[in-house]
Chains A and B, each alone.
Chain A
């Protein structure tokens, strides 16, 4: 693809990001951070792409480490966010009627 197309995508994504994130309340900032944290684990895909054309032991070792790092980032990030958000929902039994109405 043309580099200008890449940059256009980047700029538009930045505006979407600003719009979407501005609506998240302070209360949910920790899950927001760990959730977006998981999303940048997408560099894993970069590792996979480069590995397919990499030659040499060092390159391969570096990439396997990168892939492992990216996977930790994704798997850990989404799981931990899920754990936190389940707590925000409130656990069974303790949920109060007024809580169910909200949101």
Chain B
């Protein structure tokens, strides 16, 4: 084949394509600011990715000289064959673990590339490619990527309930985590300063970071998962950007940094919404799995009031305004469609129904919104915390479905409570509160909720989906 290096393979043309790709990423992310523009935004970002991919394949040495097209095709083919069915079939309730898994493979790819980079540049193995400018970011990428891969896998296993969701306490974990981080950093410094040992790379960098990733996520309780998932997302983004510096590729730098920035913002928002610092969450073990502070100090005489589906139906039907507060319990029970049906029934009776969404309700940022959107609850009915809180005093009935800690008035009033200071939904200020719960177990934080003992609170025990369906049936019977 006589193919001169054409215009399309010119370095500047490829950089120009990358710039088009960045623009599409940024415009796409901007589109995510509203539900109308979001689908187009996501597709624009995907087109940007395709352009960046084509540009990379055009780079002279990638395919034209020396590139192994068959192997590339195998990798991309396998990835597509796995990715498409996984993305198509995953249920909306399983979205947090799917995102964790996709995030993990990204981190894994970074770590593997960094490993090959090390092997390739290793002077003993024929490579005169040793270059500090490339090697330092590559080592950094290896550490972060490996933490992200293993951490995400543990997060996946916890969310998928392959591992218990409660915090798993390991002895002296903070000390060991610190030590592991130190090992990884010192190994990186030794390698970067010119001592070459692949064993040190594998053990000191990849393995130490892998154990660290496991150790950091294992002790984190289910309620803290939104923070962990966004933190790991930021990690993978940053590690991709570092790979970009190592490979001198602007597409990786820009895309990775955009993700790193977005993940950092989200992580911070989640932490603020729980009134806790990111380091405290990463240190883990919140609410200390075993002992429940719930059983403390003379609470035995407090009574809860149990109610029945027909009572709930009457209360809801004759209300002017109802606010539904969904939590992880709604996701577990797959109750979102029943909840939508309840909303429809009540609205035909002239009841005004809104949804109050706490920023950390569920297991990932915005988890409840996805489920309710799946059930066709209009976007405008999903109210954020700051918007809905002033409206609770004018609310006749608050219906709490499988949410606990985000409604706990102790966060507002009891300075001794572990969650004191966390912003909550002020459901206790509404006329009546109905709480749908499986049992009297405490929430993930393992903290008692005084809301349940209030005079205006009634509890409807049972599976959230069944309870809601019964209430719907009763409402229909009221005619």
- Distance A22 CA – B244 CA, assembled complex (angstroms): 25
Chain A window 60-96, contacts with chain B (Cβ cutoff 8 Å), 1 for yes, 0 for no: 1011111111111111111111111111111100101
The listed residue (B39, B62, B247, B254) touching A89 by CB distance below 8 A is: B39
**Interface residue ranges of A1-54 to B (CB < 8 Å):** 1, 3, 6-7, 9-10, 13-18, 20-54
Mostly, the B contact residues are helix
Could you tell me if B52 and A63 are in contact, using CB atoms closer than 8 angstroms? no
The listed residue (B36, B41, B266) touching A33 by CB distance below 8 A is: B266
The listed residue (B38, B112, B359) touching A88 by CB distance below 8 A is: B38
Could you tell me if A25 and B33 are in contact, using CB atoms closer than 8 angstroms? yes
Residues of B within 8 A of A66 (CB): 75, 108-110, 112-113, 116
Residues of B within 8 A of A81 (CB): 42
- Distance A74 CA – B42 CA, assembled complex (angstroms): 12
Residues of A within 8 A of B265 (CB): 17-18, 21-22
- Distance A46 CA – B366 CA, assembled complex (angstroms): 31
Name which of B232-240, B409-417, B427-435 contacts chain A: B232-240
Chain B window 342-363, contacts with chain A (Cβ cutoff 8 Å), 1 for yes, 0 for no: 0000000000000001010000
Chain B window 157-184, contacts with chain A (Cβ cutoff 8 Å), 1 for yes, 0 for no: 0000000000000000000000000000
Could you tell me if B116 and A32 are in contact, using CB atoms closer than 8 angstroms? no
Could you tell me if A9 and B253 are in contact, using CB atoms closer than 8 angstroms? yes
Tell me if B119 is interfacial: C-beta within 8 Å of chain A.
yes
Could you tell me if B45 and A39 are in contact, using CB atoms closer than 8 angstroms? yes
Chain B window 54-89, contacts with chain A (Cβ cutoff 8 Å), 1 for yes, 0 for no: 001101011100111001101110111011101110
User: In this complex, which of B28, B106, B260, B382 has the most chain A Cβ atoms within 10 angstroms of its Cβ?
Assistant: B106
The listed residue (A24, A44, A77) touching B102 by CB distance below 8 A is: A77
The listed residue (A17, A28, A78) touching B32 by CB distance below 8 A is: A28
Tell me if B230 is interfacial: C-beta within 8 Å of chain A.
yes
The listed residue (A64, A65, A78) touching B46 by CB distance below 8 A is: A78
Min CB–CB distance B167 → chain A (angstroms): 23
Name which of B284-292, B368-376, B453-461, B463-471 contacts chain A: B368-376
The listed residue (A33, A71, A83) touching B79 by CB distance below 8 A is: A71
The listed residue (A7, A20, A26, A32) touching B357 by CB distance below 8 A is: A26
Tell me if B257 is interfacial: C-beta within 8 Å of chain A.
yes
Could you tell me if B106 and A43 are in contact, using CB atoms closer than 8 angstroms? yes
- Distance A3 CA – B42 CA, assembled complex (angstroms): 31
Min CB–CB distance A14 → chain B (angstroms): 5
Known contacts A31-B370, A51-B72, A102-B380; A13/B261 CB under 8 A: yes
Could you tell me if A53 and B120 are in contact, using CB atoms closer than 8 angstroms? yes
Nearest A residue to B374 via CB reads A87
Known contacts A3-B133, A9-B253, A48-B57; A21/B49 CB under 8 A: no
- Distance A27 CA – B197 CA, assembled complex (angstroms): 49
The listed residue (A10, A63, A71, A84) touching B116 by CB distance below 8 A is: A63
Name which of B91-99, B274-282, B400-408, B438-446 contacts chain A: B91-99
Nearest B residue to A94 via CB reads B376
- Distance A28 CA – B43 CA, assembled complex (angstroms): 16
Min CB–CB distance B32 → chain A (angstroms): 5
Min CB–CB distance B31 → chain A (angstroms): 10
Could you tell me if B106 and A49 are in contact, using CB atoms closer than 8 angstroms? no
Could you tell me if B248 and A78 are in contact, using CB atoms closer than 8 angstroms? no
Residues of A within 8 A of B359 (CB): 26
The listed residue (A24, A38, A56, A67) touching B75 by CB distance below 8 A is: A67
Tell me if B250 is interfacial: C-beta within 8 Å of chain A.
yes
Could you tell me if B98 and A33 are in contact, using CB atoms closer than 8 angstroms? no
Could you tell me if A40 and B106 are in contact, using CB atoms closer than 8 angstroms? yes
Could you tell me if A73 and B266 are in contact, using CB atoms closer than 8 angstroms? no
Could you tell me if A36 and B258 are in contact, using CB atoms closer than 8 angstroms? yes
Residues of A within 8 A of B390 (CB): none
Nearest A residue to B43 via CB reads A82
Known contacts A37-B103, A51-B72, A87-B374; A7/B245 CB under 8 A: yes
Min CB–CB distance A102 → chain B (angstroms): 6
Complex A-B, nearest 7 residue pairs according to Cβ-Cβ distance, in ascending order: A71-B79, A17-B261, A67-B75, A29-B366, A29-B365, A75-B83, A79-B87
A/B interface sample: 8 pairs, CB < 8 A: A24-B32, A32-B366, A58-B119, A62-B116, A68-B75, A69-B112, A72-B86, A88-B373
